[in-house]
Homo-oligomer: A and B are copies of this chain.
Amino acid sequence: MQGQNISDIIEAYLKQILNESTRVEIRRSEVAELFNCVPSQINYVINTRFTIQRGYLVQSKRGGGGYIRIEKVKLLDDRDMLDTLIGLVGHQISQRDTLAIVQKLYEDNAIERRDANLILAATSHQTLALNDRQLEAELRARILTSLLNHLRYERE
């Protein structure tokens, strides 16, 4: 809220635009120049202030005509539960525990049967097929966390 540092100022600038339209599209270097900072500071602001937990979706493209686009999305009611579950997942998780979490989501009507099956298919031992047990559990955790994060908000 305060305008004490550049990151806060840039954050306020972007949010002010987002007050009027649901999305803002910028050229990173232009905004950096506008606020007299290095381009990577824009990434810092986005990574710390425009996260999915706060209801922002960010997309970007490099190369000529590149951009960074920030979109405000509507968060769903289940997000506290999702936070809890993401905490449970941690940085690694077994297939067995994954099944438990997915079943819980299904029972709570957070996802449909179809989604549940997709998630289980994507995270199964057979699919991941890594030799390294540890790596597999970590990867499963990342995939599951990412999927849970996507359940947070509603698409138009």
Interface check A143, CB cutoff 8 A: yes
Interface check A146, CB cutoff 8 A: yes
- Counting every copy of the chain, the complex holds 2
**Contact across chains for B147 and A122 when beta carbons are under 8 A apart:** yes
The stretch of A13-21, A60-68, A79-87 in contact with B is A60-68
> Can you name 20 extra interface pairs (CB under 8 A) apart from A5-B64, A117-B155?
A2-B61, A4-B65, A4-B66, A4-B67, A5-B63, A7-B64, A7-B65, A114-B115, A114-B155, A115-B115, A115-B118, A117-B154, A118-B122, A121-B147, A121-B149, A122-B122, A122-B143, A127-B142, A127-B146, A139-B139
What string of 1s and 0s marks CB contacts (under 8 Å) between A113-152 and chain B? 1110111011010111110000000010011001101100
Count residues on chain A whose CB falls below 8 Å from chain B CBs: 34
A84 shortest CB reach to chain B, Å: 19
| Docked pose: A67 CA to B4 CA in angstroms | 9
Interface residue ranges, A against B (CB under 8 Å): 2, 4-5, 7-8, 61, 63-67, 113-115, 117-119, 121-122, 124, 126-130, 139, 142-143, 146-147, 149-150, 154-155
